[in-house]
Amino acid sequence: MKQLTAKEVETLLNEGKTLNIIDVREVDEVAAGKIPGAVNIPLGLIEFRMHELEKAKEYVMVCRSGGRSGRASQFLESQGLKVINMIGGMLAWEGNVE
């Protein structure tokens, strides 16, 4: 499974790269702040909402610390999707939030 640190993701965004970020935290966690542009799909719903994701795109998975996003990444990868887990999660995120 591919991985990026929170700092690497922030750098890519600051360079103007378009990243497809999926935040797998619960709705109340995301309400406290998420990476700008991230789409919230709670881990428990990923199986039921994966039809919203395109196999042609690569997705950066994010959670609080990197554990749930790791599980989501493994599952989506097993379904043929291209994913990158952001290790450290939002605890390591120093960039802007919305």
Domain contains 98: no
- pLDDT by residue (tens digit) across 36-80? 999 999 999 999 999 999 999 999 999 999 999 999 999 999 999
CA distances from 40 to 15, 23 (A): 23, 5
Residues forming the active site: 63
Q: Which residue range forms the structural domain that includes residue 81?
A: 2-91
Residue 97 belongs to a domain: no
Mean per-residue pLDDT of the chain: 97
Across the chain, how many H-helices and E-strands are there?
A: 4, 5
CATH number for the domain spanning 45: value is 3.40.250.10
Token reading at 3 = 């991985």
Whole-model pTM: value is 0.96
